[in-house]
């Protein structure tokens, strides 16, 4: 079943029975991942507006408000972008948050992008570029370096934001010192169907299981994940539900910016058949590392800037100590 947007069921969606809590935010994030474009088209209250948040609190991007919210701002900013059907609070997994730990150990300030993952990646990328430009202009101290870390879809949004920010002549791309991609499906995810992501995002919670029936819905964000679409041209004037959808335009990584890629595989070693077909259960190993049989689409990330975690699933990359140690090493260099 393919549900067009706007899709009438969105008018009946309400979570008023759930009090404000991380669980409610989790359910809202899933709804946005699966139906976010339709929610936005309807002007629905559950459509997530894009914001930068810290500890789950939206930041007002004015110098006075930022100075009040962040008592000791660093000139080195770390901006983290979450994945599909997720929210910024889910960077914390099993008591560990990569962003908070990096801020503590490297002396940077960590901020978190919170966005509607059901929208097109390019729509989120364009808005994220505007948001980062506002952040750079309002930050209380001079921005010496901006580091972007994207998990899963968040890495695609970061790449798209770079493209649109550069095209618009923004200042912030010139401050980007490093880009880190964690399980980002650069060349797509074969399992980009709502059911698989819903199972992962909702888990086996009894009160969220009824949402599994939405598994056949496919938001714009979900269809973008099939091939790793980054630009408006990848979907404007096209049938995004077509089985033989054309490949998106190839977009190289930013020249002169060190880029790093982390991937996981449920296999025991590289070369295991699971690497190619399953990877971490959602994103194939080659896609996460920016590899492609077409040289024009291969990202060319140096081997020294690639890292593979074995016997790991997609979300394991958010909580494993060895993943954090590698992030700290990469971001501590230079």
Lowest-confidence region among 133-147, 181-195, 266-280 = 266-280
Lowest-confidence region among 22-26, 210-214, 329-333 = 210-214
Q: For position 240, what pLDDT does the model report? A: 77
Give the pLDDT mean for 148-171: 98
pLDDT tens profile 183-229:
999 999 877 655 555 555 555 454 444 454 554 467 899 889 988 99
Q: Residue 330 contacts by C-beta under 8 Å, 6 or more apart in sequence?
A: 178, 180, 260, 305
What is the C-alpha separation between 1 and 224, in angstroms, rounded?
Answer: 18
What is the C-alpha separation between 313 and 45, in angstroms, rounded?
Answer: 33
Q: For position 8, what pLDDT does the model report? A: 54
What is the C-alpha separation between 30 and 317, in angstroms, rounded?
Answer: 19
Q: Predicted confidence band at 5 (pLDDT cuts at 50, 70, 90)?
A: very low
Q: For position 190, what pLDDT does the model report? A: 78
The candidate with the shortest Cα–Cα distance to 31, out of 214, 189, 154, 204, is 214
Give the pLDDT mean for 21-28: 90
Q: For position 218, what pLDDT does the model report? A: 76
Q: Predicted confidence band at 230 (pLDDT cuts at 50, 70, 90)?
A: very high
Structure tokens, 205:
């919670």
pLDDT tens profile 33-91:
989 999 999 999 999 999 999 999 999 999 999 999 999 999 999 999 999 999 999 99
What are the φ and ψ backbone dihedral angles of 79, each rounded to 5 degrees?
A: -115, 125
Q: For position 12, what pLDDT does the model report? A: 61
Per the prediction, the chain carries an average pLDDT of 88
Q: Show the domains of the chain with their CATH numbers.
A: 8-241+248-332 (3.40.50.1820)
What is the C-alpha separation between 248 and 83, in angstroms, rounded?
Answer: 20
Write down the H helix ranges in the chain.
22-41, 63-69, 98-106, 121-138, 153-167, 194-202, 220-225, 273-277, 285-288, 321-332
Q: Is the pLDDT of residue 299 over 80?
A: yes
Structure tokens, 69:
């919210």
Give the pLDDT mean for 223-242: 88
Q: Is the pLDDT of residue 251 over 50?
A: yes
Q: Residue 112 contacts by C-beta under 8 Å, 6 or more apart in sequence?
A: 52, 53, 54, 79, 80, 81, 82, 88, 91, 99
Q: Residue 183 contacts by C-beta under 8 Å, 6 or more apart in sequence?
A: 83, 151, 152, 155, 262, 263, 264, 280, 282, 283, 288, 314, 317
Q: For position 21, what pLDDT does the model report? A: 85
Q: Predicted confidence band at 279 (pLDDT cuts at 50, 70, 90)?
A: confident
The structure tokens 């914001």 sit at 51
pLDDT tens profile 90-132:
999 999 999 999 999 999 999 999 999 999 999 999 999 999 9
What are the φ and ψ backbone dihedral angles of 4, each rounded to 5 degrees?
A: -70, 160
Q: For position 209, what pLDDT does the model report? A: 47
Q: For position 245, what pLDDT does the model report? A: 59
Q: Predicted confidence band at 4 (pLDDT cuts at 50, 70, 90)?
A: very low
Burial 173-210 (b: 16+ CB within 10 A, else e): bebbebbbbbbbbbbbbbbbbbbbbbebbbeeeeebee
Q: Predicted confidence band at 274 (pLDDT cuts at 50, 70, 90)?
A: low
Strands 259-265 and 176-182: parallel
Give pTM, 2 decimals. 0.90
What is the C-alpha separation between 127 and 121, in angstroms, rounded?
Answer: 10
**Percentage of the chain exceeding pLDDT 70:** 83
């Amino acid at each position: 079943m393919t549900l067009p947007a706007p899709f009438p069921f969105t008018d009946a969606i309400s979570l008023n029975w759930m009090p404000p809590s991380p669980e409610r935010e989790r359910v809202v994030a899933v709804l946005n991942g699966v139906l976010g474009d339709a929610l936005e088209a309807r002007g629905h209250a559950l459509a997530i507006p894009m914001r930068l948040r810290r500890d789950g609190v939206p930041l007002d991007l004015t110098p006075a408000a930022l100075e009040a919210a962040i008592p000791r701002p660093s000139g080195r900013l770390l901006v983290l972008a979450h994945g599909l059907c997720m929210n910024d609070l889910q960077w914390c997994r099993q008591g560990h948050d990569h962003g908070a730990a990096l801020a503590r150990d490297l002396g940077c300030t960590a901020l978190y992008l919170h966005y509607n993952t059901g929208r097109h990646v390019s729509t989120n990328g364009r808005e994220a570029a505007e948001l980062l430009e506002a952040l750079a202009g309002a930050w209380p101290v001079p921005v010496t370096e901006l580091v972007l870390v994207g998990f899963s879809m968040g890495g695609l949004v970061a790449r798209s934001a770079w493209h649109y920010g550069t095209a618009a002549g923004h200042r912030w791309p010139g401050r980007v010192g490093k880009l880190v991609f964690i399980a980002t499906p650069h060349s797509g995810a074969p399992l980009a169907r709502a059911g698989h992501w819903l199972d992962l995002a909702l888990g086996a919670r009894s009160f969220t299981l009824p949402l599994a029936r939405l598994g056949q819905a496919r938001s714009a964000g979900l269809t973008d994940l099939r091939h790793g679409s980054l630009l408006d041209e990848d979907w404007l004037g096209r049938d995004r539900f077509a089985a033989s959808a054309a490949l998106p335009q190839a977009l190289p990584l930013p020249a002169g910016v060190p880029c790093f890629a982390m991937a996981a595989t449920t296999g025991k070693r590289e070369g295991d058949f699971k690497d190619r077909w399953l990877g971490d259960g959602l994103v194939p190993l080659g896609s996460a590392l920016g590899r492609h049989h077409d040289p024009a689409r291969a990202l060319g990330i140096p081997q020294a800037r690639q890292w593979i975690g074995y016997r790991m699933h997609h979300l394991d990359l958010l909580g494993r100590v060895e993943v954090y140690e590698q992030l700290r090493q990469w971001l501590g260099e230079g």
